[in-house]
Amino acid sequence: MTDAKSPGYRPRDWSQHPPYLSPEYKSTVLRSPRKPLVPMKASLSELTGPVFGHESLDALDADLTRNGRVNGEPLGERIIVTGRVLDEDGRPVPNTLLEVWQANSVGRYVHKWDQHDAPLDPNFFGAGRCATDENGRYRFISIKPGAYPWRNHHNAWRPAHIHFSLFGPSFVTRLVTQMYFPGDPLLPLDPIYNGVPEGARERLVSRFSIDVTEPEWALGYEFDIVLRGRNETPTEG
Amino acid sequence: MLKQTASQTVGPYFAYALTPQSYGRVGLGSSTMVDQETRGERIRIEGRVFDGTGAPVVDAVIELWQANAAGRYRHPADTRDHVEIDPHFTGFGRTGTDGQGQYWFDTVKPGALGDGQAPHVNVTVLARGMLSHAFTRLYFDDEAGANAEDALLQSVPADRRATLVAKRVETGGGVAYRFDIHLQGDDETVFFDA
């Protein structure tokens, strides 16, 4: 384990993250590292990391209902997804980039390997980016993704989800996760969701918000993300 | 204190977002980390990713983070102003493995940081079937002296150290370093609790 007193970031909290081996999710069986992770102290290599923020964005990146448009609006239920990116001490993580990707409204991805017998939407490619503001808040517009079948086990269906990828302030704050939707009946059956320890997995489910919802236009969901915090409180400048 | 948000797998269908070059889109990072004016020794880092049976992992994402040829990171936490930033090098690369589990990056050999660590590249591995990503490091086999002084590398059990050391090969196109990644098995790559 990382020395909790060393400068840098708090260790990955394995009480919150899924273990590499989670046999109900069959692909983990041969792809899970089995030897113990080697502890390391943070050096400059772990205190730095790729820096991406607002300067990496194009105008339509945060609107998935427009960035793939060819001849009309994508089909499906329009949604607004927003939330804050915070560290473990509740401090906002400002100007940090989020990459998101998802299936379309009927559960089909734009990907050469996705053979699910559901239609592609010519006006939706299901990928976007946004960045947090000074309060750590992000927001993007999309279409509610559909469930889709996969071959993990008989009659296996993934619950509707949106993939999120974040770098945060350093190489070690990297996080790739998935956001789910409240009340999805597939959640208790999903080995990927259930790979996360109980108590932690529930925080991957977004909250419906009537305040975020915009009249006559789109339903709102809130999803906050917590990245690793600093070991020491940085000096306030 | 708030709890860290749980990791989830990158899944199989990340390409349109993370490695969209094959769809004619521009991603955040790519296999080509240099342009004509980047300073330093041009190298290619290449290898394959394998699962526990030795089968290629054809849907992994590999990300690199490294210092420039002078040993400076392009990040506000690297405050060593006496070491020059290279405006033609961000230090970040990202690619997906191909149908044979292969990946490559065109980059420069990183300089030493001057803190006793041997020159190295920081590597993140993500894939379908990995619910959490894995961190490793690439060291260079022609830096034997520096590697012998690197405290982290020397903290790794001797019989596993070689999994972190890329092998220099001369190719028709220039210098390449071979760095295979084994997610599991007898040759399992050393992953760090970074």
Q: In a mutagenesis test of the A interface, which of B131, B150, B152, B155 is the best target, namely the one with the most A β-carbons within 10 Å?
A: B131
A13 has a pLDDT exceeding 60: yes
Judged against a pLDDT cut of 60, whether residue B48 lies above it is answered with yes
Bridge partner list, B139: B120, B165
A86-133 pLDDT, tens per residue?
999 999 999 999 999 999 999 999 988 888 999 999 999 999 999 999
Q: Which two tokens stand for residue B179?
A: 């760095």
Burial of B30 (0-12, 13-18, 19+ CB in 10 A): middle
How far is residue B99's CA from residue B106's CA, in Å, rounded to a whole number?
A: 19
Question: How many Å separate Cα A202 from the centre of its chain?
Answer: 14
Residues in chain B with CB shorter than 8 Å from the CB of A40 are: 152, 155, 192-194
- pLDDT of A4 reads 44
Question: Which two structure tokens, joined as six digits, stand for A4?
Answer: 């909790």
Respond yes or no: is residue A161 known to be catalytic. Answer: yes
Query: Rounded to the nearest 5 degrees, what angle is found at the Cα of A134, between the Cα atoms of A12 and A62?
Result: 85
At residue A43, does pLDDT exceed 80? yes
Going by C-beta distance under 8 Å and a sequence separation of 6 or more, which residues neighbour residue A71? Answer: A122, A123
Query: By CA distance, what is A14's nearest residue in B?
Result: B6
Cα distance between residue A8 and residue A2, in whole Å: 10
Q: Which of A42, A52, A87 sits opposite B28 (nearest CB)?
A: A52
- As a whole number of angstroms, the distance between CA B36 and CA B68 comes to 14
How many other C-beta atoms are found inside a 10 Å radius of the C-beta of residue B108?
A: 22
Residue A1: count of CB within 10 angstroms of its CB: 10
Contact criterion met (CB < 8 Å) for B75 and A127: no
Q: What is the mean pLDDT of residues A26-55?
A: 95
Confidence band, pLDDT 50/70/90 cuts, at residue A233: low
Contact A38 B155 (CB under 8 A): yes
pLDDT in tens, A141-175: 999 999 999 999 999 999 999 999 999 999 999 99
| B chain contacts of residue A28, beta-carbon cutoff 8 Å | 129-131
**pLDDT at residue A6, rounded to an integer:** 55
pLDDT tens figures, B106-165: 999 999 999 999 999 999 999 999 999 999 999 999 999 999 999 999 999 999 999 999
> What secondary structure, in 3-state letters, does A162-176 show?
EEEEECCCCHHHCEE
For residue B22, what are the CA distances in angstroms to A82, A108, A182, B48, B128? 29, 19, 34, 19, 19
Tokens 């999805």, residue located:
A184
ipTM score of the complex? 0.97
Phi/psi at B135 (nearest 5 deg)? -105, 135
**Residue A116 among the catalytic residues:** no
**Domain residue limits, chain A:** 43-227
**Residue A1 pLDDT class (50, 70, 90 cuts):** very low
Residue A201 pLDDT: 98
Q: Please, which pLDDT band fits residue A55 given cuts at 50, 70 and 90?
A: confident
CATH architecture classification, A43-227 = Sandwich (2.60)
Contacts of A29 in chain B (CB under 8 A): 52
> By C-alpha distance, which of B5, B183, B23 is closest to A101?
B23
Return the structure tokens found at A94: 């400002």
Would you call A9 a catalytic residue per the annotation? Answer: no
Q: Do A33 and B191 touch (CB under 8 A)?
A: yes
Q: How far is A15 from chain B (nearest CA, A)?
A: 9
Cβ contacts from A onto B, under 8 A: 239
Dist CA B6 CA B4 (whole Å)? 6
Contact A174 B160 (CB under 8 A): no
Q: Which residues contact A53 (CB under 8 A, 6 or more apart)?
A: A95, A96, A97, A131
Answer yes or no: is pLDDT of A17 > 60: yes
CB B78 within 8 A of CB B71: no
CA distance B108 to B93: 12
What residue spans define the domains of chain B?
Answer: 15-182
Return the structure tokens found at A132: 């947090």
User: A25, A109, A180, A221: which one is catalytic?
Assistant: A109
The vertex-B61 CA angle with B43 and A13, nearest 5°, equals 115
Percent of residues, chain A, with pLDDT higher than 70? 95
Render pLDDT for A178-208 as a digit per residue (tens, 0 to 9). 999 999 999 999 999 999 999 999 999 999 9
Q: What is the mean pLDDT of residues B18-45?
A: 93
- Domain B15-182 coded CATH 2.60.130.10: yes
